[in-house]
Amino acid sequence: IKVSTTGYHILHNEHGVDAFPQHRYVPSAPGFPASAFALPLVSNAVPTGFAPTSPAPANPFVTLSTHGPYGPQFPQPGRAQCAVPPPVCEKSTYRTLDGSCNHLERPQLGMANTRYGRLLSPRYADGVSAPTASVTGQDLPSARLVSLVIFGEMDVPDPEYTLINMQWGQIMTHDMSMQAGGTQSKKHPTRCCTDDGRLVGLDTAHKTCFAIIVPDHDPVYSQVGTECLNFVRTLTDLDARCPDYRGGPAEQLTTVTSYMDLSLVYGNSIQQNSQIRAFQGGRMIVERRNGADWLPASRNVTGDCDAIEPTEVCYTAGDIRVNQNPGLTILHTILLREHNRIAGELAKLNPHFDDRTLFQEARKINIAQYQYISYYEWLPIFLGAENMLKNRLIYKVPEKAPVNDFDPSIDPSVINSHATAAFRYFHSQIEGRLDLLSELRSVLGSLRLSDWFNRPGIIEVGDNFDSLTRGHSTQPEELTDINFDREIKHFLFRRNMPFGSDLRAIDIQRNRDHGLASYNDFRQFCGLRRAQSWEDYTDLIDRAIVEKLKTLYPSHEDVEITVGGSLESHVAGALAGPTFLCILTEQFYRTRVGDRFFFENGEKYVGFTPDQLAEIRKASMARLVCDNGNNIQSMQQKAFLLVSPSNPVVPCSNIPQVDLTKWIDKKPHYGK
């Protein structure tokens, strides 16, 4: 890293090309140097069509994926592939399912099965792919130890936001990225620890193993003798032998489209989509039971879920993570029902529309509402409305006015440090107790999160779907702070065992796995002062925490972005400190202006009419819940905010609706 005369550091991106990956983030907090950010973005994507400069090294994944240390393994979901873009893009009114051809000149951008983007060059120990090591050559502290010493587990309810706020975030996350090669929530077929929690010897462990070592005297795991938490490395372009890998640092692959296109509902390829699409009336497949529509059942219950009872259902959707927790499955169901609701309305309004037109128009409206809710209702809570306006992530325009800010020079790929560090900070919002509430919002009972990981069938029992949905939109989420709920800190995916894994430790280990640049590097990147010593971190991090960090890490240069970023005091009006806010703002700028189909784009072939756009801008989280519960009659207008005198629960009929008559006879443009 060099410092250029302009004061910006010139970096090598993951392909060794000099680039200025500056972002255009303008900090909104006083005291941060706003001038550093008013620069145009430079895309850091892979140039297409180049030849490898050196032969690709042996691929540990291909040779070992079917046989682990314990014999044959299951086929791995999200198996590493390298996307192949179509040779020619046809101009279409609708998005493709795999994200190809959103960018017409570089059709691969944002596709499923491509690389994450990078803001700063990776810090692999060997410069190519080995997990990050200490700058001193000493060992880094165990990720579990960092989780225990630095992060708390106190239960602090948020004074403003509801649990559905957290849950919507996970939906957006699952839309934007999924690291390749893992099962994430199911027991991973690659075992880096034995079933009783001992380390598998280095000689026998799978090449992709990077187990988390549990420290001695762990207050939780030592009770049961667990010494090792399973952790499997994310697959990279090097592992998958992507044809355009040309040596240099490996880059992790993500298996879903980067765009906010509800790929988790519709799937990430034509093949995946055709398994869940009804091909009738523009609808997606649902199964009707007890008077309600449910996601189609998975044919592989034991493979996809951790069901205990033989009758327990387990679902299929556009994303394999759908069954991970009840709140997630509920929002998946709501978004699926919303598609069919829209398709049904459109069919009534336009009897001449065929299945394909109904499907694509309903999909387009569903995605637009979702983008509107995400950018105008949800993100301002996290990034601050003022900050978003200033950085052009949202606009104040008349209700019918489009915003034509698509910029083909922007790479829409999800940035590694966003997905692996910054966005995961909101794991802090997870609540381990899920309330069941009546229509009058009285507590009927509650569920313990770790009893229901990968057991989504609970949402179909009795009135649970509505009671849990009301619970999520009424009970507070956990405060966004350094505390992570016990249910995910000691009991993650415990199945019927006494303890499970630690999500915070996994996040830290994943940071090292992906070789992210350090917290200090990102401070500098974000225009903050680069720390020369531990003392310098006290500008943003509590001194007592800096003292603890000092006892763990050999050098202040070793603190990971996942750790340092999570410890900063928040910028006023936002739910993150300046470094994470800079990464998050950068990401959501790219996700917007790098998406040719972003809902506010008024371009003739892809946009909505002014009247339609004004309707999309009436969508809300509350309306989605009202329209797609089994029988939810009332909601507060602002579902992400707690019920209060200024945000009272009102009958659903008082919540504005998107008027689909604006879609009457608007003949869609045909395309591929």
Q: Which residues bind Ca ion (CB under 5 A)?
A: 175, 257, 259, 261, 263
Among 25, 423, 519, 608, binds ligand HEM (CB under 6 A): 423
Q: Which residues pair with 12 in a beta bridge?
A: 18
3-state helix, strand, coil in the chain (%, to 5): 35, 10, 55
Q: Is 648 helix (H, G, I), strand (E, B) or coil?
A: coil
HEC assignment per residue over 572-586: CCCCCCHHHHHHHHH
Among 28, 44, 147, 185, binds ligand HEM (CB under 6 A): 185
d(Cα 235, Cα 212) in Å, to the nearest integer? 18
Which letter, b or e, does each residue of 465-495 get, where b requires 16 or more Cβ atoms within 10 Å of its Cβ? bbbbbbbbbbbbbbbbbbbbbbbbbbbbbbe
d(Cα 580, Cα 424) in Å, to the nearest integer? 10
What counts of helices (H) and strands (E) characterise the chain? 20, 17
The reply, when asked if residue 472 is annotated as ligand binding, is no
Task: For Cα atoms 602, 606, 611, give the angle at the middle one, nearest 5 degrees.
Answer: 50
Q: Which residues are catalytic?
A: 174
Selected range binding ligand HEM among 302-310, 367-375, 421-429, 435-443, rule: CB under 6 A: 421-429
Task: For Cα atoms 487, 493, 497, give the angle at the middle one, nearest 5 degrees.
Answer: 90
Binding partner at 423 among Ca ion, ligand HEM, none, C-beta below 5 to 8 Å by kind? ligand HEM
Residue labelled with tokens 């019920």? 643
Give me the 90-129 binding string for ligand HEM, x by CB under 6 A, dash otherwise.
----------------------------------------
Binding partner at 506 among Ca ion, ligand HEM, none, C-beta below 5 to 8 Å by kind? ligand HEM
Q: Is 370 in the site for ligand HEM (CB under 6 A)?
A: no
Binding partner at 255 among Ca ion, ligand HEM, none, C-beta below 5 to 8 Å by kind? none
Please enumerate in sequence order all residues whose Cβ is within 8 A of that of 606, keeping only pairs 6 or more positions apart, or say none: 93, 596, 597
Selected range binding ligand HEM among 1-9, 172-180, 292-300, 590-598, rule: CB under 6 A: 172-180
Q: Is 419 in the site for ligand HEM (CB under 6 A)?
A: yes
Q: Is 211 in the site for ligand HEM (CB under 6 A)?
A: no
d(Cα 563, Cα 579) in Å, to the nearest integer? 11
Q: Is 443 helix (H, G, I), strand (E, B) or coil?
A: strand
d(Cα 419, Cα 423) in Å, to the nearest integer? 6
Say if CB 123 and CB 517 are below 8 A apart: yes
Say if CB 23 and CB 119 are below 8 A apart: yes
Q: Is 183 in the site for ligand HEM (CB under 6 A)?
A: no
Among 100, 177, 511, 620, binds ligand HEM (CB under 6 A): 177
Q: Is 427 in the site for ligand HEM (CB under 6 A)?
A: yes
Selected range binding ligand HEM among 93-101, 151-159, 181-189, 621-629, rule: CB under 6 A: 181-189
Q: Is 454 in the site for ligand HEM (CB under 6 A)?
A: no
Among 15, 341, 424, 512, binds ligand HEM (CB under 6 A): 424
Give me the 484-513 binding string for ligand HEM, x by CB under 6 A, dash otherwise.
----x--------------x--x---x---
Residue nearest to ligand HEM (CB): 169
d(Cα 215, Cα 631) in Å, to the nearest integer? 49
Q: Which residues pair with 434 in a beta bridge?
A: 447
Say if CB 266 and CB 318 are below 8 A apart: yes
Give me the 324-363 binding string for ligand HEM, x by CB under 6 A, dash otherwise.
xx--------------------------------------
Q: Is 161 in the site for ligand HEM (CB under 6 A)?
A: no
Nearer to Ca ion, 357 or 591 (CB): 591
Q: Extract the runs of DSSP E, i.e. beta strands, from 310-396.
A: none
Q: Is 613 helix (H, G, I), strand (E, B) or coil?
A: helix
Among 430, 528, 567, 655, binds ligand HEM (CB under 6 A): 430
Nearer to Ca ion, 83 or 561 (CB): 83
Nearer to ligand HEM, 382 or 663 (CB): 382
Report the nearest approach of ligand HEM to the CB of residue 665 (Å).
40
Q: Which residues pair with 636 in a beta bridge?
A: 649
Give me the 530-559 binding string for ligand HEM, x by CB under 6 A, dash otherwise.
------------------------------
Among 73, 81, 134, 184, binds ligand HEM (CB under 6 A): 184
Please enumerate in sequence order all residues whose Cβ is within 8 A of that of 256, keeping only pairs 6 or more positions apart, or say none: 112, 174, 175, 176, 177, 178, 263, 264, 268, 319
Which residues make up the interface to ligand HEM (CB under 6 A)? 166, 169-170, 173, 177-179, 182, 184-185, 254, 324-325, 419, 423-424, 426-427, 429-430, 488, 503, 506, 510
Q: Residues marked as binding for heme b?
A: 427
Q: Residues marked as binding?
A: 427
